[in-house]
Structure 1
């Protein structure tokens, strides 16, 4: 999972990043509305952790921005503004959940995982596609009941492919999703090819079909029609 944290308290931001990255969540951060909008126009995120009280405005403006730009992302509001009106307005404007401050980091993680399960995995930790099954809680993949020995990046790559099946995904988009937005400055993305190659080999050796197809000059596509 890749998230954007929009929070102007540097200590809280660092605490969230340290904890969530330890739970295999890729975190990018900004501290104001302007930088948040720039990030959202340039990169994709599974979820946004959004503070309402920001130095250059109300975080609810981000919800309007997401709606107007037709961006595909989920939003978890975190804020000390815990009145019922603020909570209802945030949810009414399109947020997926609301977590009042102060909160335990373990609850933040649980809320993020719940949002991800609902929006991407049909409400379950289990994702099954033909002979391939993924357990996002255990970070485990089985192909025809054979457990694959995958790295964390290979697991995330397979999950990214399956949840975006039938879509052509560029190498740059894959790199940004798995390694962070800093990859935008890289000259090439040859390392993506190596990870895709390793993943395809491991699935094939376990008796699985090769659903990952190369789209030359662009990237890759997870093709469900392969048999």
Structure 2
């Protein structure tokens, strides 16, 4: 999962970054509304951690910006303002959940996973398509009732494909989603090809069908119409 944490307290932001990185999330940081808007216009995120009190404005204004731009990221408001009216205003403005400071990082992690399940997995922790079953709690892939030995990146890659079934996804988008925005500075993202190749091979060896199509010149597509 790729996260944008918008938090002006640099000590807290660093703690969130370190914790989520340890849990194998891709985490980007923004300390102001201006920084956040720039990132949100150029990059995509699964979830946004949004502080209400920011040095250059109110986080709820940024929430309205996100909705007006039709940015599809889930939103978890994180703020020291625990008043009921702030919580209601944030939720009614489109936030998915609200976490009041101070909080424990494992609780933050649990909220993120719950939001992700509700939005992308119909509230379940297992995402299935035909013979493929991904367990987002244990990070296991089951193909034809057999567990497949895959890396965490391969798991996240397949999850990304399943959440975006039948959509063409560029290699750059895959690189950004799984390795972070620093990949923009790389001369090429050929390493994505190797990860897709390895994932295909492991699924095929387990008797699964190759649903991942190469769309030449564009990227890849998880094709659900194969039989």
Partner of 1:162: 162
Distance, in Å, in 1 between the alignment partners of 2:171 and 2:61 is 31
Is 1:176 aligned to 2:183, yes or no? no
Secondary structure, aligned partner of 1:221:
strand
1:127-164 Cα deviation digits (max 9, x unpaired): 11000000000000010011111011000000000110
Paired residue for 1:37? 37
Q: Distance in 1 between matches of 2:96 and 2:105?
A: 18
2:133 aligns to what?
133
How much has 1:205 moved relative to structure 2? 0.5
Structure 1, unaligned runs of 5 or more: none
Matches of 1:24 and 1:187 in 2, distance apart?
A: 25
C-alpha separation in 1, matches of 2:70 and 2:17:
27
- Which residue is 2:195 aligned to? 195
TM-score, with length taken from structure 2 = 0.99
Spell out, residue by residue over 1:185-206, the C-alpha distance to the aligned partner (whole angstroms, 9 max, x if none): 2111100000000000000000
What does 1:104-115 align with in structure 2 at a 5 Å threshold? 104-115=104-115
**1:26-60 deviations in whole A, cap 9, x for unaligned?**
11001000010110011110100010111100011
1:205 matches 2:188? no
**Residue in 2 aligned with 1:147?**
147
Map 1:29-108; keep pairs closer than 5 Å. Answer: 29-108=29-108
Runs of 4 or more, structure 1, over 6 Å off, are none
Cα deviations across residues 109-138 of structure 1 (Å, max 9, x unaligned)? Answer: 000000000001110110110000000000
The CA deviation at 1:98 is: 0.5
**What residue ranges of structure 2 are gaps of 5+ in the alignment?**
none
How many pairs align?
A: 227
Give RMSD over aligned pairs: 0.6
- What is the alpha-carbon distance in structure 2 between the residues aligned to residue 165 and residue 42 of structure 1? 22
Q: Give the TM-score normalised by structure 1.
A: 0.99
Q: Give the drift of 1:176.
A: 0.2
